[in-house]
Structure 1
Amino acid sequence: MRAALAGTTGNAMLMGIAEVSTPLGWVLLPGLLGVSARPRVAALVSAWAGVLVALSVVVPVIPGHRSDPQALLASAAGLAAVPVLAWARRRTRTAAVARAAAPPDVAVFTVPAGPGSAALAICGTAGEIGAAVPVRGGGLRVLLGTVTGAALDTPAGRRAIEQAFHRAAAGPHRTVPHLVDVLEKAVRDLAPAGHLRATIVDVDRAGSVRAVRCGSPDLVVAAEGRAAPAGVPEGPAIGSTGPGGRAAPGRVTGRRIAVVGTGFTDAHGQRRLRVLDQVAVGDDPARTAELLTRGPGGGRRTGPALVVDPSPRA
């Protein structure tokens, strides 16, 4: 928000010094900053740009706009459209994420994943982190894991991690290592002694899947009716080491791909792969994700869980 307001102010000063009086010069940069931000931030940027436009008329030091009613009306209309466009952009992205029917103790969200689909199940277990971000063009980026540390394992701490991922993952050209860097900084800023065991999954518009493991269990793929490890290299947990010790992203192929957190392996122990055989059964990723959160012996659910079908159903 501060960067957007500073950019709007700098643009107004530059336009005033250059005595630019056309509405486009005053509205273009605030419009771009506002549309790319959240609707609330867009509204604030638009309002502040309107104040600066008014000052350019009232204060002789900043000549800026002529007191031409048509120029002022064009600027006002352009700035009023900024928060509306930001809201429409956010609504379009949110509409891609739908909540699927599930028992009351688990929330399952479905989302397009390239030409296929994915489902993310969240059940509010201790330290649970889960965020799915649709990417313009049909891609998908997902963060799934658990946090450790008193400062991180709070509603505010988990929300801050998820929001940092949302902001970083929304860009169309972000790479998986860049997302790890962003999360590394967020974890260290929030809790230098805490860490995040996570898997980041990136599905491009063609359905190609890449993933990086940071202290989390291996992904599994459906193979001949059973679950098999995907063989993605493992790196240290985020926040526990420097950039040099990180694992490189690995490519994952399979009809169906599943990701679970450390809580799943702790709960199921040696039976982990047997439970994960459910990944190869059924056609509905949402149902499979919900099944993977079930605790052993009907106990408390353990999440999160992600199921990805990179290709459309036959």
Structure 2
Amino acid sequence: MRAALAGTTGNAVLMGVAEVGTPIGWVLLPGLLGVSARPRVAALVSAWAGVLVVASVLVPVIPGHRTDPQALLASAVSLSAVPLLAWARRRTRTASVTRATGPPDVAVFTVPAGPGSAALAVCGSPGEIGAAVPLRGGGLLALVGTVTGAALDTPAGRRAVEQTFRRHARPAASPPHLAGVLDQAVRDLAPAGHLLATIVRVDRSGAVEAVRCGSPDLITVGGDRADLAGVPAGPALGSTTVPAGDAPPSPVTGRRVAVVGATFADAHGERWARVLDQVAADDDPARAARGLTRGPRGGRRIGPALVVDPGPPSRA
């Protein structure tokens, strides 16, 4: 937000000093900054740009924007449209994330993942971290993890971690890069806290790659049986003096890929991997993800759980 407001101010000063009178000179940069931001930030940028346009007309020492009514109307219309365009852009991005039906104690969200689809189940279990961000072109970036530490395992701490991931989940971002960003975020939020996480990327072709940092191995399904993917384990984020983000991502193959958090493995004990055979039993990734949140012996649900079918439904 600060960068957008500073850019808008700098643009107005430059246009005024250069005595630029055309509306596009005053509106283009604020419009680009606003459309690329969240709707609330876009509205603030547009309002501030409007204030600067009015100042350029009312204050004689700022030559800038001409007083032609048509020029002022064009600027007003353009700046008013910026928040609407930002909202439409955000709505288009989030419309691909839908909530599947299910019991009230678990929320399952489905999202495109390459030619296929994915489902993320969250249920508010202690330390739960889960986020899935659709990418332009049909890709997906997802985070599944568990936070530890009193300062980090709070609603505000967990929300800050998830928001950091969503903010940096861009088409060019790789899982190691996101691991490094989250590692620094954990250190800043709670030096004594840790994040045990798996970061998964699905590209538009359906290729899956992942890094895991202190979390259980991924599960792959080939045929009717689930097996461990063999993704190398790295340290939990925020747990070492060496910043994360250097390990290359590991490719993961299979008609289905599943990810669970450390609390799942802890709850089911040494035999946790056997429980995951249920991942292969249901063709619907949403039902499979929901099933993975069931606690042992009918106990409280344990989340999060991510199930990815990277290929089209006909291949499942």
CA distance in 1, matches of 2:294, 2:251: 28
CA distance in 2, matches of 1:4, 1:221: 43
CA distance in 2, matches of 1:30, 1:261: 42
Shift of 1:224: 3.3
Q: Given that residues 218 and 260 in structure 2 are in contact (C-alpha distance below 8 angstroms), is that contact kept between their aligned partners in structure 1?
A: yes
Counterpart position of 1:90 = 90
Equivalences for 1:210-289 in 2 at 5 Å?
210-241=209-240, 242-243=242-243, 246-289=246-289
Q: Given that residues 177 and 245 in structure 2 are in contact (C-alpha distance below 8 angstroms), is that contact kept between their aligned partners in structure 1?
A: no
CA distance in 2, matches of 1:33, 1:185: 26
Q: For residues 108-144 of structure 1, what are the alpha-carbon distances to aligned partners after superposition, in whole Å with 9 as ceiling and x for unaligned?
A: 0001001100000001000000011111111111011
Counterpart position of 1:112 = 112
Counterpart position of 1:190 = 189
CA distance in 2, matches of 1:234, 1:15: 53
CA distance in 1, matches of 2:177, 2:271: 34
User: Is 1:200 matched with 2:199?
Assistant: yes
CA distance in 2, matches of 1:296, 1:273: 13
Aligned residues between the structures = 313
Counterpart position of 1:302 = 302
Equivalences for 1:69-148 in 2 at 5 Å?
69-148=69-148
Which residue identity is paired with 2:161?
I
Q: Given that residues 233 and 248 in structure 1 are in contact (C-alpha distance below 8 angstroms), is that contact kept between their aligned partners in structure 2?
A: no
Q: Given that residues 294 and 302 in structure 1 are in contact (C-alpha distance below 8 angstroms), is that contact kept between their aligned partners in structure 2?
A: yes
Shift of 1:310: 0.1
Q: For residues 259-291 of structure 1, what are the alpha-carbon distances to aligned partners after superposition, in whole Å with 9 as ceiling and x for unaligned?
A: 000001001112212110011112100000000
What secondary structure is seen at the aligned counterpart in 2 of 1:243?
A: coil
Which residue identity is paired with 1:9?
T
Which residue identity is paired with 1:313?
P
Which residue identity is paired with 2:165?
F
Equivalences for 1:26-37 in 2 at 5 Å?
26-37=26-37
CA distance in 2, matches of 1:37, 1:224: 44
Q: For residues 183-240 of structure 1, what are the alpha-carbon distances to aligned partners after superposition, in whole Å with 9 as ceiling and x for unaligned?
A: 1221111111111100011111111111110111110100232111111111111111
CA distance in 2, matches of 1:91, 1:164: 20
User: Superposition RMSD on alpha carbons, in Å?
Assistant: 1.1
Q: Given that residues 235 and 246 in structure 1 are in contact (C-alpha distance below 8 angstroms), is that contact kept between their aligned partners in structure 2?
A: no
Shift of 1:246: 4.9
Shift of 1:177: 2.1
Shift of 1:244: 6.3
Q: Given that residues 184 and 243 in structure 2 are in contact (C-alpha distance below 8 angstroms), is that contact kept between their aligned partners in structure 1?
A: no
Structure 1 unmatched ranges of 5 or more: none
Structure 2 unmatched ranges of 5 or more: none
Q: Given that residues 236 and 247 in structure 1 are in contact (C-alpha distance below 8 angstroms), is that contact kept between their aligned partners in structure 2?
A: no
User: Is 1:40 matched with 2:40?
Assistant: yes
Identify if the C-alpha distance between structure 1 residues 207 and 254 changes in structure 2 by more than 3 Å, giving closer, same or farther: same
In percent, how many aligned pairs have the same letter?
A: 76
Counterpart position of 1:9 = 9
TM-score under structure 1 length normalisation: 0.97
CA distance in 2, matches of 1:234, 1:155: 27
